[in-house]
């Protein structure tokens, strides 16, 4: 069993190299974000004292299900800033989705809506509790925004869902947003 601190450190590094900087570890992602598990294992074991079994344990036990493993390949499920096509299918979303953020972002969001920034998509949660967990990762006061996903979808906007259940959209225009009850 790995120590929690090492597990967290390795998981964060995996997210970094699989989402933002594969070249920093000598990795090359394919067009859908996959890399051979053996290559990732080699990169990780040169930096950390981890075994193949421990890396698999990190993937399988990650509470946010950030990674997918298939056919001796691995990838991050979403959140990429590097150019990949996750080959996700468009889906009809639930009536409402949620986005947790810092209260300091509200003025900008109120003017411009939610933007993907350096990522490929805006990340949305299917429930308020998950959005609160996301928001708590940011410093200071937070708020939960409610997205009228049903109306947005009916008016031609696309939604996708990653392998770990995170809903994704290109953007969320301001007219589909409201501040959710239970936030400051």
Q: What pLDDT was estimated at residue 2?
A: 67
Is CATH 1.10.10.970 correct for 4-76? Answer: yes
Burial class of residue 170 (count of CB atoms within 10 Å of its CB; 0-12, 13-18, 19+): middle
Q: By three-state DSSP, how is residue 54 classified? A: helix
pLDDT tens for each residue of 145-181: 999 999 999 999 999 988 778 899 999 999 999 986 5
Class of domain 96-179: alpha beta
Q: What pLDDT was estimated at residue 180?
A: 66
CA–CA separation, 124 vs 150, rounded Å? Answer: 14
Q: What pLDDT was estimated at residue 153?
A: 97
Quick count: other Cβ atoms within 10 Å of Cβ 72?
Answer: 11
CA angle 88, 74, 131 (to 5 degrees): 55
Q: By three-state DSSP, how is residue 36 classified? A: strand
Q: What pLDDT was estimated at residue 182?
A: 45
Domain with CATH 3.20.170.30 in the chain: 96-179
Q: Which two tokens stand for residue 8?
A: 């967290």
pLDDT > 60? residue 82: yes
Domain with CATH 1.10.10.970 in the chain: 4-76
pLDDT tens for each residue of 7-33: 899 999 999 999 999 999 999 999 889
Q: What pLDDT was estimated at residue 1?
A: 58
pLDDT > 50? residue 184: no
pLDDT tens for each residue of 48-74: 999 999 999 999 887 778 898 989 999
Output phi, psi for 67, to 5 deg: -125, 150
């Amino acid at each position: 069993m790995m120590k929690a601190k090492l597990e967290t450190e390795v998981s964060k590094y995996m997210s970094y190299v699989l989402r933002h900087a594969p070249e920093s570890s000598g990795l090359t992602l394919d067009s859908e974000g996959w890399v051979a598990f053996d290559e990732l294992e080699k990169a990780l074991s040169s930096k950390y004292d981890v075994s193949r079994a421990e890396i698999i344990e990190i993937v399988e036990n990650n509470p946010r299900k950030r990674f997918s493993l298939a056919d001796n390949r691995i990838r991050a499920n979403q959140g990429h800033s590097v150019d990949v096509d996750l080959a996700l299918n468009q889906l009809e979303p639930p009536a409402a989705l949620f986005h947790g953020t810092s209260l300091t972002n509200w003025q900008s969001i109120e003017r411009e809506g939610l933007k993907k920034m350096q990522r490929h998509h805006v990340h949305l949660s299917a429930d308020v509790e998950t959005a609160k967990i996301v928001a708590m990762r940011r410093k200071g006061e937070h708020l939960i925004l409610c997205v009228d996903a049903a109306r947005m979808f009916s008016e031609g906007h696309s939604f996708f869902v990653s392998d770990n259940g995170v809903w994704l959209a290109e953007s969320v225009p301001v007219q589909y947003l409201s501040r959710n009850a239970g936030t400051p």
